[in-house]
Structure 1
Amino acid sequence: MNPDDESSKFYHAEEEVDFAEKQTPQTPQTRHPAYKLAFQDQDFLLREELRPVRFQLELLKPQLLLDEAGVGSTLVMYGSARIPPPDAVEKALEGAKDLPEGDRKVVERLAEKARYYGEAYKLARMVSEKSIVEQGKRQFVITSGGGPSIMEAANKGASDAGAESIGLNIVLPHEQAPNPYVTPYLSFQFHYFALRKMHFLLRAKAVAVFPGGFGTFDEFFELLTLIQTGKMKPMPILLFGKDFWTRVINWDAFVEEGTISARDIELFTWVETAEEAWDHIARFYDIER
């Protein structure tokens, strides 16, 4: 039964809430938490036993809102939260001059990666400007983790193209907030990493992976695993920065040790520029470039 159907014989939940708030007499019984409607009782919803329900809610809320927003597919962009934007490089290098050599080199290496902020921005803007629509739904909607650096570049590129974009933020012990370029009604916050990662991939039609840390590796390797094991259909996976990735991961050693097959390396494509990335996506889906 459609709850919005005017012929429904039952009151909607919001109407029941209104009845409860306006018509319930104030007595010891009605003031006790046990009397609260279950779906309005936060203490009840946060109980350990209700975790499966919270999982379902966290899966369902973004799914429904993205459906209502007409999002058909996404271009997901992973990458570090620490790479500075190009206009912050000079200040970062200046501030690192008096640091111990090891710390200074870290800042210099991060500064060298600032060009990937530019490539993430260009890719997001380029794809967003194409405004691809199929079967009435928007395709390749830019999606990031909603944070700073590479994620910010992705959402900013879409915003500057006049397009909406998605941000999938996660609650962490330290302070954080969505970057200002995420479309507000497509800005989601997650408690469970598992559900967040699922939403990254549920609508993904392509994934661009930029240099990053544990979070980027986690997301990237889970994607590879899903495709390698046949749990997910192949899609373009664009790996930006061959020098970085071959420095931090010995791909050949994986093959030589026999823990992956040589063909598994073909699950992703090396790229350095936004143009290369889009060219591969367009060829994969036979889209006019």
Structure 2
Amino acid sequence: MNPHDKTGWTPLPHSDEDLKRARSVPDTPQTRSDTYRLAWDDETFMTRRELRPVRLQLELLKPEMALAERGIRSTVILFGGARIPEPGGEAWAAKNEQQKTNLEKNSRYYAEARKFARLCSEQSAKSYYREYVVVTGGGPGVMEAGNRGAADCGAPTIGLNIVLPHEQAPNVYVTPELCFNFHYFAIRKMHFMMRAKAMAVFPGGFGTMDELFEGLTLIQTGRMERVPVILFGKAFWEKAINLSFLAEQGTISPGDEQLISYVETAEDAWGHIAAFYKLG
């Protein structure tokens, strides 16, 4: 009986306590059987196809709890190409001389992403890092630049990594306690959008396009409030996607193009956000 409980009710043991007890039993054929293991401590069971709904819930809940416990209320997302190098760095992903030239030219976006993240983090400091916290996909390229810019001024910064066929390790600038790993793209996308106060999108490939259009669709359909959607590099984006053409064809509504703002510099991007939220 709990001596501090005057009702006589004994609380159930904590799951950690039962886990230790379950692992300390004698070694017998029965205790070695997978069926004897506690269900949530059985990796073979937890990774079965039938357990997918449970894994989806856990993957949503784990980062949500960590961010809430940290007091993080809002974020600024940085999307962009993993292949864009740091200025002066090696264009490691280039497959030919043309790609090498273009990636090296686009390295200026690494510098702008780093600078933009610093500006966001300076604003975030005013709320004790509860608002406008920089979040990226946690990998190299523009993602690294975003986390690095926040780390430059001592700000916490989030990385939402995902398991890929070619292993993506988290970049070293992500705050370790805010570094997450996902199996499900869908849950990862939810975590990007759930706290987003702005989306800053730099030149990138299929993944960047996917994330951009996911956000635009949620805003267009009213599933999330409108937030600034800022594209760095007008010349790049007007060649990559032709929103005016889509409007002419009637596949998007007139005015949907106005959901996007084009900028060239970090200062211009932060200016859009500050104006949108009337920040002093």
What are the within-5 Å matches in structure 2 for residues 1-289 of structure 1? Answer: 9-22=11-24, 24-88=25-89, 92=91, 103-134=96-127, 138-288=130-280
**Whole-angstrom distance in 2 between the partners of 1:74 and 1:250:** 28
**Residues 264-285 of structure 1, C-alpha deviation per residue, up to 9 Å, x if partnerless?**
0011111111111111101111
1:128-158 deviations in Å (ceiling 9; x for gaps)? 1233455x76101000000001000000000
Tell me, which stretches of 5 or more residues in structure 2 are unaligned?
Answer: none
User: In structure 2, how many angstroms separate the alpha carbons of the residues matched to 1:43 and 1:70?
Assistant: 34
Is the alpha carbon distance of 1:92 and 1:170 closer, same or farther for their aligned partners in structure 2, counting shifts above 3 Å? closer
TM-score by length of 2: 0.93
CA distance in 2 between counterparts of 1:145 and 1:137 reads 19
Q: Does the 8 A contact of 2:228 with 2:260 survive in 1?
A: yes
Unaligned 5+ residue runs, structure 1?
Answer: none
What is the number of residues matched between the two proteins?
272
Deviation at residue 26 of structure 1 after TM alignment: 2.9
Shift of 1:106: 1.8
In 1, the alpha carbon distance for the partners of 2:120 and 2:240 equals: 29
Change (3 A) 1:131 1:255: closer
Q: Return the alpha-carbon distance in structure 1 between the equivalents of residues 160 and 50 of structure 2.
A: 26
Counterpart residue type for residue 104 of structure 2: A
Any idea what SS the aligned residue of 2:198 has? Answer: strand
Instruction: Give the Cα–Cα distance (whole angstroms) in 1 for the partners of residues 266 and 69 of structure 2.
Output: 30
For residue 13 of structure 2, give the secondary structure of its aligned residue in structure 1. coil
Q: Give the TM-score normalised by the residue count of structure 1.
A: 0.90
Moved over 3 A (4+): 131-134
Sequence identity (%): 56
1-structure distance, mates of 2:33, 2:98: 60
Separation (CA, whole Å) in 2 of partners of 1:233 and 1:133? 23
- 1:34 is paired with a residue whose SS is helix
Rounded to whole Å, the distance in 2 between the matches of 1:44 and 1:92 is 43
Give, in whole Å, the separation in 2 of the partners of 1:124 and 1:221.
Answer: 22
Give the Cα–Cα distance (whole angstroms) in 2 for the partners of residues 131 and 57 of structure 1. 28
Cα distance change on mapping 1:140 and 1:8 into 2, 3 Å = farther
How far has the Cα of 1:25 moved from its partner?
A: 3.0
Q: Displacement, 1:27? A: 2.7
Query: What is the distance in 2 between the residues matched to 1:239 and 1:74?
Result: 17
Q: CA 1:204 to 1:79, structure 2 compared with 1: closer, same or farther past 3 Å?
A: same
Whichever residue aligns with residue 20 of structure 2, its letter is D
Q: Provide the rounded CA distance (Å) in 2 between the counterparts of 1:38 and 1:201.
A: 32
Structure 1 residue matching 2:170: 3-state secondary structure: coil
Q: One-letter code of the match for 1:107? A: K
SS in 2 for 1:167: strand
Shift of 1:252: 1.5
Q: How large is the Cα RMSD of the aligned pairs?
A: 1.8
